[in-house]
């Protein structure tokens, strides 16, 4: 039976999870794992936003990256993959870069949760502010590059992060609204010395970031009062 093993784990909470709608901005190393793991939990509505195509450099860390998918749009590849897992999932795609000019189109439906897995500070800041304006819960991924140690990965409030450059910049940019500093983020406390311009990465840290995000969201939904 579909999702039978997961239903045994979450019991009556499955109906809460199944009826949720999520928006995922960025479906690369982190976001791809969030999308797939939520689909495997039975989430019935997933909207994915990404303007990129699968590149050969993605093979080391992105769940949608295969030699057979190189050159294809990431949102198209991921939609096909999600529907192969859960044909009943309503998957909406936006082949675009999230910015001020298209946010109203993307938000032309109701979401229960926003997952920020995009790469740019400006988009993250815009998304976090928009989430507050629309009273939608959000969790944001910080930097997964140049990391090796899974034990250093944590979920915390943005204001409590340390050793993460993206989080530091966001805290500075969002300092005018203390509520925004309360959002949950996934980050690593691992320190590194960066010399290369290209962001180095491996197969497992972005995946763990993504699975931490899914775990956090599922737990929140299970704790909701019906």
> What residue segments make up the domains of the chain, in order of their start?
18-223
Those residues of the chain that have pLDDT short of 70 are 194-195, 226
d(C-alpha 49, C-alpha 60), whole Å: 21
DSSP state of 53: B
The reported pLDDT for the residue numbered 225 is: 76
Total count of residues recorded for the chain: 226
Integer CA distances (angstroms), 197 to 29, 127, 146, 194, in order: 18, 26, 11, 8
Look up the CATH number of domain 18-223. Answer: 3.40.50.720
Question: Would strands 21-25 and 113-116 be described as parallel, antiparallel, or unpaired?
Answer: parallel
Look up the pTM and report it. Answer: 0.96
Query: Which has the closest alpha carbon to 146: 8, 29, 49?
Result: 29
The pLDDT, as a whole number, for residue 138 is: 98
User: What is the pLDDT, as a whole number, of residue 179?
Assistant: 97
Q: How far is CA 84 from the centre of its chain?
A: 20
Q: What pLDDT does 195 receive?
A: 67
pLDDT of residue 1: 77
pLDDT of residue 196: 73
């Amino acid at each position: 039976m579909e999702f039978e093993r997961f239903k045994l784990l979450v019991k009556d909470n499955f109906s809460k999870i199944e009826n949720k709608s999520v928006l995922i901005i960025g479906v690369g190393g982190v976001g791809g794992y969030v999308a797939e793991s939520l689909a495997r939990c039975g989430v019935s509505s997933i909207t994915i936003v990404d303007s990129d195509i699968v590149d050969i450099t993605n093979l080391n860390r992105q769940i949608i990256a295969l030699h057979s998918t190189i050159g294809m749009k990431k949102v198209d590849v991921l939609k096909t993959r999600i529907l192969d897992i859960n044909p009943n999932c309503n998957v909406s795609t936006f082949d675009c870069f999230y910015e001020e000019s298209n946010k109203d189109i993307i938000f032309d439906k109701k979401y229960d949760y926003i997952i920020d897995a995009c790469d740019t500070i400006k988009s993250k800041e815009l998304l976090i502010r928009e989430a507050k304006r629309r009273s939608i819960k959000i969790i944001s991924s910080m930097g997964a590059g140049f990391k090796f140690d899974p034990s250093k990965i944590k979920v915390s409030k943005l204001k409590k992060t340390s050793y993460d450059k993206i989080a530091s910049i966001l805290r500075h940019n969002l300092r005018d609204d203390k509520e925004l500093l309360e959002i949950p983020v996934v980050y690593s406390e691992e320190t590194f010395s960066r010399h290369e311009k290209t962001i180095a990465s491996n197969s497992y840290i972005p995946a763990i970031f993504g699975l931490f995000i899914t775990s956090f969201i599922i737990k929140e939904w299970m704790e909701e009062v019906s």
